[in-house]
Structure 1
């Protein structure tokens, strides 16, 4: 569906979108993205230094909005299949790349956060990475750590998926039990 129209500059425009789902829909969360584009009222700025060189600068604003419809019993979950790690050495730096293959379970997308932690063998945290995310399909989560200054030895990487985000109320998130997967990494 595409809605378009032109209004006079400086005027407001209300666009209403109504969804009438079929009663035959299976339980689950249905989602879509609405992309809104606007162009400011003022015309592009023209810049010229002489007759041979000119430039035009224009700005378009795009906003993508998520639309979710929940029907019936909604569930979500994550299963971690495998965690792989690779050490990359370039230009005197060493990076640890972590790839966690996961499957999304349930009948709804996972909206939550992923925390990836690198720990010493004794359990002390060296570094932790946090990101809010939305997972609609099975995939691979990638994280990178700079390990240039770490001593050789055995380390632990843990990846935690949790249905919690700071930008979405927990009442609006489909909850699941947190999932944590770990792997051992040997740094030469």
Structure 2
């Protein structure tokens, strides 16, 4: 019953024993009452490949590989990274076929930092973004910066693609529909 009260996504439980070291267990909570019918994938590359810079600049292509349209307001994409100095951050959508104003961004600090991620930004869509047709795709070009424009170090960040300069399938930028992970993977 405790787990039923937790938010969807990754949750970590800590166990303390009378003997031995404390242990943690991380797991993903998903709504299984309705199986997602959407089939989406993310293709991505980073617009800036330098090890360090004052912006994160991923370019996403969201591809609908199913035979039915997907309501975009039900879809979330995540990009995992290390903040490299706790500061307020800003999200900018530079361009998308659905309109930059219809793309949202939110910052989430991980409850337990990983070696390759302590934050993710989550891209979502307003209801005005409409739907993504079967077999269709949209581009989402975004930037993230700290409000004081200090640098991020991208090297080693979970979602960072240090090699490609064109869209490639990128499982390290997971996609969720109605809170359910349907493509990609979160950092361990």
Same fold (TM over 0.5): no
Where on the TM-score scale, by shorter chain, does this alignment land: which range?
Answer: 0.3 to 0.5
TM-score, with structure 1 as normaliser: 0.39
Structure whose residues are more often helix by fraction? 2
TM-score, with structure 2 as normaliser: 0.39
**Rg bigger for which structure?**
1
- Higher RCO (CA-CA < 8 Å; seq separation 6+): 2
